[in-house]
Homo-oligomer: A and B are copies of this chain.
Amino acid sequence: MKTLQFWLEYGSTYSYLSVARIGSLASARDIEIEWCPFYLLPIFTKLGMNYGPFLPYPNKMEYMWRDIERRAQRLSLPYRKPSAYPIDSLPTARIACIASTEGWCQAFTEEVFRLHWTEGKLIGTDENLDTVLVALGHDPAAMRARAQMPETKDALRRQTERAEALKIFGSPSFVVGDELFWGDDRLEEAIDWASGH
């Protein structure tokens, strides 16, 4: 089975469009997704990108919201503009790290993004996190405690270092062998690449 790494920052907007469809796209092509949560902010800071490609530029921000809405419609994905941006993705990313080693990262991520992007339960809030954890059969308090443990923090840091080593500078990113693809608009191309283009 071919493998595609899906590198994901939970505070990234366009990543919603990828999270919402990568599961079905990959399974239709018999591609295994390796879910790779990481934390993008330190990479932005090191690269001198401040707060990423959108936040510092009002025209780009305004465009981004309209573009995502239009893309969601084109892709037949549900969409409701979230009430806050940016958000603090760190707690979610840490739990995603745990989830990725235990095999429930896809279910966790899909639901975390769905709540944020269709139900107004924002990523980074306890409401979002607890709703998802309960739905997946985890004890939210126990999981939040694990998220604060040094080994979990280290695991996320290592993920971010792996992302850096792969020269990743944005989310979503897809890695297939030596090929890096950046942006939701490259998802289909990455899938094609993974299945031997």
| Residue contact B169 to A59, C-beta cutoff 8 Å | yes
Q: Using A74-B189, A185-B185, A189-B70 as known contacts, say yes or no to A57 and B47 having CB atoms under 8 A apart.
A: yes
A183 contacts across to B, CB distance below 8 A: 185
Give the complex CA separation of A167 and B57 in angstroms: 11
Within 8 A of B (CB), among A20-64: 47-49, 53, 56-57, 59-60, 62-63
For the complex, is A182 an interface residue (Cβ under 8 Å from B)? yes
| Residue contact A169 to B57, C-beta cutoff 8 Å | yes
Give the complex CA separation of A62 and B66 in angstroms: 29
| Number of A residues, CB within 8 Å of B | 27
Q: Whole-angstrom distance from the CB of A33 to the nearest CB of chain B?
A: 21
Q: Which of B63, B67, B74 contacts A167 (CB 8 A)?
A: B63
For the complex, is A136 an interface residue (Cβ under 8 Å from B)? no
Q: Which residue of B lies closest to A49 (CB)?
A: B57
Q: Which of B49, B67, B197 contacts A182 (CB 8 A)?
A: B67
Q: Which residue of B lies closest to A189 (CB)?
A: B74
A143 contacts across to B, CB distance below 8 A: none
State the 5 A-B residue pairs at the shortest beta-carbon distance, nearest first. A185-B185, A59-B167, A59-B169, A47-B57, A60-B169
| 9 A–B contacts from the bound complex (CB under 8 Å) | A47-B57, A47-B60, A48-B57, A59-B167, A60-B169, A63-B169, A63-B180, A66-B180, A74-B189
Q: List 18 other contacts, CB 8 Å, given A57-B169, A67-B182, A183-B185.
A: A47-B57, A48-B56, A48-B57, A49-B57, A59-B168, A59-B169, A60-B169, A62-B167, A63-B167, A63-B180, A63-B182, A66-B179, A67-B181, A70-B179, A70-B189, A71-B189, A74-B197, A185-B186
Interface residues of A (CB under 8 A from B): 47-49, 53, 56-57, 59-60, 62-63, 66-67, 70-71, 74, 167-169, 179-183, 185-186, 189, 197
